[in-house]
Structure 1
Amino acid sequence: MRSVPPTALRAVAIGGGTGLSTLLRGLKRYVAVSGATSSGCADGPCQLADLAAIVTVTDDGGSSGRLREDFNMLPPGDVRNCLVALSEDEHLLSRLFQYRFGQGELEGHSLGNLFLAALDDLCGDFALAVQHSSQILATRGRIYPATTDNVSLAALMDDGSHVHGETSITASKQRIHELYLEPAEAHPVPETLEAIRQADLISVGPGSLYTSLVTNLLVRGIPEAIAAAKATRIYVCNLMTQANESLGLTASQHIQKIMDHAGSYRLFDYALINTAPISPASLAQYAREGQAPIVADLDAVRALGVEPVTGNFVYEGAVLRHDYDRVAETMLQLAVKGRP
């Protein structure tokens, strides 16, 4: 059995897209697994007694969008990425679940999405399908959709127009002024609120500001639960601005936009912000899309009641990603330290 100290923490990670699954890869190394033969997690005893991921469910593009339309189900793509990230045998499962059919009626669909669609049909409940998937795949953590209501994203743009659907919002050339759900009264999965209530560590991000992060906080009850939680609450700031979502926004402006959409609740104690330099080659690659490193305006972050934690959190590969080992380690240190 893995060694689990009596002070082991309960963690909740909120987000979507590749940002959430990247973070989960770092955190899962610290999760106790029943029946495992290792003497510990990562470099020492298991520091996490429990890990829960709360995942956005508003995607309407690609394979997820097609399944959503054809089977009247919630989009499985972001959940699939989290299942892969938290699985014990991630390498094999990743190859299998991320496999996309290249021809015929299944062209463009990933096997993982079809797996979740089949379970959803068998269970008649998407949250239950996700739970069974986690059990089948022996994930080191639980995965909850933010809501099981059939909601879509809509946005009021800076020119006064309204755009409906996540794909259309991200493709728009206008800036997002306000994001909202249709219908507005989306209900959270009860287990998500209980996980937040019991958590010692809550993280939001990294991920697309509006379509991966804010969308979770539009579900009634979730921002209120985070605000009332006893946990250490951490915002993981993106590395770069993002076209159509956050071009030109500083670190503090990201936090302010989240707070504005969450009822102005104070949601964060700390903000992890990368201050390490990024190579000229990567900067040039992103500049072609108009993207740039997010400005670390630390005094403005503090003025929002959030303590910035700076460091080298970047990993440079074919694309820029957070170094999930450094991020996870820093988050756990802050959780042990407690609120500032």
Structure 2
Amino acid sequence: MSVIYRTSDSEAVRRARPLSQVVAIGGGSGLPVVLAGLRRSLPADCGITAVVTAADDGGSSGTLREQYDVLPPGDIRNCLLALSRVAPEVSAALQYRFDGLPGPGHPVGNLLLAALEMVTPDEVTAIRLAAGLLRVEDVILPATTTRVQLVAELADGREVRGESTIPRSAAPIARLRVDPPGARAAHDVLRALERADAIILGPGSLYTSILAALVVPGILETVLATPATRIFVCNLMTEPGETDGYGVAAHVAALAAHGLPPEALDYVVVNTARIPAKALARHSVDGTAATPVQADFTSAGRPCVVSTDLLDDSLMVLHAHDKLGPLLARLALGRPEDHGEARPGVALTRGA
């Protein structure tokens, strides 16, 4: 395919250096796919840092957080397992969920992380110890070590508190913030962002994973200040209660509404593969009204839109790590011409 992309002189100089550090921000099911793909595609001496939302308050993570005052472990567990180098049976055991007790079942990995946090000096040390057990050589960090609650200001003027409550609010989301207002990004997070050669946002729940991390004071400001290549990977499907009716343009507009303007991004990555009817039916088995995200974003210059087949071959509606990882590695190096189609569009469509 023909490829058109822009690279300023300063970007060309910066990208001529070998990659040494890539940071991925988010949570949920999307961030582990990015991590697995990157680790298989980047040079062994290029480090990866995952910055994981710390606002989860549902399911097992929410219960452990409430009962033991620990950071929500679920997203951290999944990121560790995506980067682990242990026998498949060990990974399966850490994902094994004990059901039958009152409340949600707890995956073994969640219990391990909670226990480590309770016997170590701090949360980052606990995660580092878990990483050692799983032979993870990269770094997993919570966006903040403060016990934060996600707060959404809705389009109808209401305010809703709690990550698991926000998608049930039945109104469009206008703005997000974290409470308490004095929460700050973990020091190691800011240092990783400052040293990053590339920063990847998404895929993942736009508001309750990606923006939940970005709105932690200090993170967005550092993302904007760094000379790193900034890449946004758009979701495959809308999410009921969060992004109903959103196309790619509305996803980008939501980032802009929270202080990350389109021109601050270098690339917006969009899937072009048609999602099979069977996969759509399985994805909507719970009766939700999720639909494929429409590729309706265009830009007169920056960012470049990178469009290609990123769909997993299974019946699950997922990004394929073996497609996404190599593409992200090339974009981090400034080489979109090696894969798919990269193009500047015509005009930015704003609004959600």
Shared fold, TM over 0.5: yes
Do residues 296 (structure 1) and 295 (structure 2) align?
Answer: yes
Deviation at 1:225, TM superposition (A): 1.2
Match of 2:34 in 1: 23
Return closer, same or farther for 1:263/1:295 CA change in 2, 3 Å cut-off.
closer
Return closer, same or farther for 1:256/1:304 CA change in 2, 3 Å cut-off.
farther
Deviation at 1:20, TM superposition (A): 0.2
Match of 1:310 in 2: 307
Alignment identity in percent? Answer: 39
Aligned residues of 2:41 and 2:329 also touching (Cα < 8 A) = no
Deviation at 1:140, TM superposition (A): 3.5
Q: Which has the higher contact order (CA 8 A, sep 6+)?
A: 2
Aligned residues of 2:177 and 2:216 also touching (Cα < 8 A) = no
> What does 1:1-340 align with in structure 2 at a 5 Å threshold?
7-30=18-41, 46=43, 49-89=46-86, 91-104=88-101, 108-262=105-259, 264=261, 266-286=263-283, 288-299=287-298, 302-303=299-300, 305-337=302-334
- RMSD of aligned C-alpha atoms? 2.1
Deviation at 1:60, TM superposition (A): 0.7
CA displacement, residues 179-222 of structure 1 (integer Å, 9 cap, x when unaligned): 12111232111111111111112100000010010011111111
Match of 1:34 in 2: none
Match of 1:35 in 2: none
One-letter code aligned to 2:167:
T
Q: Distance in 1 between matches of 2:129 and 2:263?
A: 34
CA displacement, residues 93-148 of structure 1 (integer Å, 9 cap, x when unaligned): 32111111123468611111110111111114112211221122211310000000
Deviation at 1:172, TM superposition (A): 2.3
CA displacement, residues 132-178 of structure 1 (integer Å, 9 cap, x when unaligned): 21122211310000000110011122222211111111222222122
Q: Distance in 2 between matches of 1:304 and 1:187?
A: 34
Q: Distance in 2 between matches of 1:220 and 1:50?
A: 24
Deviation at 1:284, TM superposition (A): 4.2
Q: Distance in 1 between matches of 2:335 and 2:319?
A: 23
Q: Distance in 2 between matches of 1:67 and 1:331?
A: 34
Aligned residues of 1:88 and 1:140 also touching (Cα < 8 A) = no
Q: Distance in 2 between matches of 1:195 and 1:101?
A: 35
Q: Distance in 1 between matches of 2:307 and 2:101?
A: 49
Deviation at 1:305, TM superposition (A): 2.9
Q: Distance in 2 between matches of 1:230 and 1:338?
A: 17
Structure 1 unmatched runs, 5+: 1-5, 32-45
Q: Distance in 2 between matches of 1:91 and 1:170?
A: 34
Aligned residues of 1:144 and 1:192 also touching (Cα < 8 A) = yes
Aligned residues of 2:113 and 2:127 also touching (Cα < 8 A) = yes
